[in-house]
Amino acid sequence: MRAIPVKATIKTRQEIEWMRESCRIVAEVLRVLKGMIKPGVTTKELDALAEEFIRSQGGVPVFKGYGFHEDNLYPASICTSIDDQVVHGIPGNRKLADGEIISVDVGVKKNSYCGDGAWTFTVGTVSEDKSRLMAVTEEALYKGLEYATAGQRVHDISFAVQEHVEEAGYSVVRDLVGHGIGRNLHEDPAVPNFGERGTGSKLKAGMTIAVEPMVNMGKYYVVTEDDGWTVRTKDGSPSAHFEHTVLITENGPEILTK
């Protein structure tokens, strides 16, 4: 979700507990939806199930009604992005088809604190090319998280993601980045998926960030559809997206959306 981030904050012990709860709900939504994703299911059905589950847990789908243009606020509870859709795909009546991949992005707010996570799933049986794209993107997420430790720089994460992706022959999206998160869905620092090692803001214990590689099988260029939300690859190549919200500690990241 595009936003102007607010200043980063070091979270208190209580704030971290509140974030753990929101992130738990995010992770459970993704687990529930994984079991529902199959050919013939509509993305609108996925959205309805996600919203029902989030609210049953005392949370609020933070994406719904999000935006800065009153005439085009995000209309759904989750983002469902299929094949060449990178992010922010709006759920609707489209039925999933065998061989597609779908990225599901979930945001939850509970006790005034947010959690954010995304995963890319297969629909039925997919090609080896798409399977490899998904595997490399997930691996890149964890390569980046190896550097999500107090004392490291933000772009240490960025470089690790970019290096792994480009060595595999793919491209990291440049127009969209990860972000800090807490009371607000988007906080500083921005967490790009590309950058120079040893640069960027210094990570401190108590910070919470969302790391989210968005990886295209082709070039990194993207375009936004006329709906003002859905981002696609410019060359029509498939894209994958994986995201975790993590707590920065002295001993490495604690994955809150695990």
Domains along the chain? 13-255 (3.90.230.10)
Sign, CA torsion 66/67/68/69? negative
In angstroms, the CA 245 to CA 19 distance is: 9
Q: What is the pTM of this model?
A: 0.96
pLDDT by 10s per residue, the chain, length 258: 655 556 778 999 999 999 999 999 999 999 999 999 999 999 999 999 999 999 999 999 999 999 988 899 999 999 999 999 999 999 999 999 999 999 999 999 999 999 999 999 999 999 999 999 999 999 999 999 999 999 999 999 999 999 999 999 999 999 999 999 999 999 999 999 999 999 999 999 999 999 999 999 999 999 999 999 999 999 999 999 999 999 999 999 999 999
For residue 153, the 8-state DSSP code is: B
CB 119 within 8 A of CB 174: no
Joined tokens for residue 89: 């795909």
In angstroms, the CA 25 to CA 28 distance is: 5
Coil, strand or helix at 9: coil
CB 140 within 8 A of CB 239: no
CB 144 within 8 A of CB 160: yes
Q: What is the strand order of the sheet 214-216 is part of?
A: 171-172, 214-216, 239-241
CB 215 within 8 A of CB 133: yes
49: exposed, middle or buried (Cβ count in 10 Å: 0-12, 13-18, 19+)? middle
